[in-house]
């Protein structure tokens, strides 16, 4: 057991996290209003970190991305360019919470001059983008989904985000000054352990994934991947889905959950609209890392192509033993 006086270098104090498993539909204004109601409900539980699901302001599907897309850059956008940006900022500020605002379809417009004709050419690029706001309503971070959801399981599901979307290109870490660092990524990103491990090595206490698995992959992989990323990295993982709507084109799995650093599922929703809340405690992280000291047992001599970053030293120092 970690001593109760041992401070965690990655999570400064306990904090409650709430995942809002939102019921969404085709009406963006109604989705934003409903999200505001549910974020208020989530904050009333004492949660200081609130998470919304992937594509919480629109239906999920390639046919919808362009028509729902909002302009986010240059930041801050005007309310006309991005009503969702302003609604999320207000939700965070009004409730004094860190808000990991699910994701929304984003459009970025670039104008270039054609070298052959000299004419101005306008290009629109679409992303699946998550915005995180501080308790004062300030934008803290933007994550564009890095791994696009392109799958084909014959007779079950074919989805090709890359037909419409472009990928993001960074690991997103968000500093919450009272608590520590959180890694934010979106849905399919959870299948890529590299992204999670880099975030963990850089000192995150939690990985948060707004997501929307489906009725084919959800039952097999959603919980498994949440637990896998938690046990790989000995930190908390939160997955936040929309509620299931069988009248929609895409049937979300639901089952928003929070997993602890020993891979125990602390809370898990069913398929309906609800809010799941869990307390995250740095001692549990230290306890897991002390009991199973993976950090001191890595064999970078065997896998030198995965050399640790400098900040790996923070991770090492939490066990106070070998340095890399
Ligand atoms: N919707 C996603 O991005 C991912 C998903 O549903 C899956 O990986 O399965």
Over residues 225-250, the pLDDT tens digits come to: 999 999 999 999 999 999 999 999 99
Range 98-115 average pLDDT? 96
Specify if 160 maps to a domain: yes
Return the pLDDT at 114: 87
How confident is the prediction for the chain on average, in pLDDT? Answer: 93
Specify if 37 maps to a domain: yes
> Catalytic annotation on 290?
no
* Spatial distance between the Cα atoms of 245 and 247, rounded to a whole number of angstroms: 5
> Catalytic annotation on 161?
no
- Tokens 């085709």, located at residue: 26
H or E stretch at 277: strand 274-280
* Spatial distance between the Cα atoms of 28 and 91, rounded to a whole number of angstroms: 16
Range 136-146 average pLDDT? 98
Range 86-112 average pLDDT? 97
Return the pLDDT at 313: 55
Atom nearest to 148 CA in ligand 1: 3
Specify if 63 maps to a domain: yes
Ligand 1 cavity residues, CB under 6 Å: 149, 187-188, 191, 212-214, 217, 221
Atom nearest to 147 CA in ligand 1: 3
Q: Does residue 135 have a pLDDT over 80?
A: yes
Specify if 323 maps to a domain: no
Specify if 321 maps to a domain: no
What's the total number of domains in the chain?
A: 1
Instruction: Give the domain range for residue 137.
Output: 15-110+121-292
Q: Does residue 310 have a pLDDT over 80?
A: no
Among the options 16, 19, 54, 70, which is catalytic? Answer: 54
CATH of the domain at 184: 3.60.110.10
Identify the burial level of 78 via C-beta atoms within 10 angstroms of its C-beta, where 0-12 means exposed, 13-18 middle and 19 or more buried.
exposed
Q: How confident is the model at residue 164 (pLDDT cuts 50, 70, 90)?
A: very high
ipTM: 0.98
Specify if 284 maps to a domain: yes
Please list, residue by residue across 98-120, b when 16 or more beta carbons sit within 10 angstroms of its beta carbon and e when fewer do.
bbbbbbbbbbbeeeeeeeeeeee
Specify if 316 maps to a domain: no
Return the pLDDT at 265: 98
13 SS3 class: coil
* Spatial distance between the Cα atoms of 280 and 260, rounded to a whole number of angstroms: 8
pTM of the model: 0.93
Specify if 205 maps to a domain: yes
């Amino acid at each position: 057991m970690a001593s109760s006086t041992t401070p965690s270098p990655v999570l400064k104090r306990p904090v409650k996290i709430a995942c809002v498993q939102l019921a969404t539909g085709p009406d963006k204004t109604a989705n934003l209003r409903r999200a505001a109601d549910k974020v208020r409900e989530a904050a009333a539980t004492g949660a200081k970190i609130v998470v919304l699901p992937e594509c919480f302001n629109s239906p999920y599907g390639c046919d919808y991305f362009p028509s729902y897309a909002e302009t986010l850059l240059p930041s801050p956008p005007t309310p006309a360019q991005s009503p969702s940006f302003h609604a999320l900022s207000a939700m965070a500020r009004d409730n004094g919470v860190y808000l990991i605002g699910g994701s929304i379809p984003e459009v970025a417009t670039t104008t270039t001059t054609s070298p052959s004709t000299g004419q101005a050419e306008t290009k629109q690029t679409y992303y699946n983008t998550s915005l995180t706001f501080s308790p004062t309503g300030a934008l803290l971070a933007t994550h564009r989904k890095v791994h696009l959801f392109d799958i084909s399981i014959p007779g079950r599901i074919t989805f090709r985000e890359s037909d419409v979307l472009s990928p993001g290109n960074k690991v997103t870490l968000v500093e919450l000054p009272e608590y520590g660092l959180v890694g934010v990524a979106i849905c399919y990103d959870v299948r890529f352990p590299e992204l999670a491990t880099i975030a963990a090595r850089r000192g995150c206490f939690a990985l948060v994934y707004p997501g929307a698995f489906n009725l084919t992959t959800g039952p097999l992989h959603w919980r498994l991947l949440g637990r896998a990323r938690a046990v790989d990295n000995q930190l908390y993982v939160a997955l936040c889905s929309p509620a299931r709507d069988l009248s929609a084109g895409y049937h979300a799995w639901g089952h928003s959950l929070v997993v602890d650093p020993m891979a125990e599922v602390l809370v898990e929703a069913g398929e309906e609209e609800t809010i799941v809340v869990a307390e995250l405690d740095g001692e549990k992280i230290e306890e897991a890392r002390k009991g199973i000291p993976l950090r001191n047992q890595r064999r970078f001599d065997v896998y030198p192509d995965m050399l640790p970053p400098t900040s790996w030293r923070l991770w090492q120092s939490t066990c106070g033993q070998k340095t890399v």
